[in-house]
Amino acid sequence: MESELSYAQGKGKLIIPLVEQGVQDGTFLKTFTPVFRFSRFDGNPGRVEREVFEFLKTQKKNKETLQAVGALVTVGMGLLLLASLSKD
């Protein structure tokens, strides 16, 4: 995983790290700014999506790209939430 992310960083690709609360900030993770933290126990599941959308607004990308990335983040967070609920 680190090699793929390093490659993407080297190519100047937009990386949005979504990390579960409690995961340690290793040396590699510290190379990303910002890091968006989520918790399956968070009473406000839309918080991370809003933070990501605010971050995307600051990026110099076209509107379609930002909307696509935002939609992927929303779907991904929804799937993570559903997966965590099915384990409980």
Write out pLDDT tens, residues 15-37.
888 888 888 888 888 888 899 99
Q: For the chain, which residues score pLDDT lower than 50?
A: none
- The mean predicted confidence, pLDDT, of the chain is 83
Single out the residue of 59, 58, 53, 52 nearest to residue 38, CA to CA: 52
Single out the residue of 66, 85, 84, 63 nearest to residue 20, CA to CA: 84
* C-alpha–C-alpha distance, residues 53 and 48, integer Å: 9
Percent residues over pLDDT 90 in the chain: 7
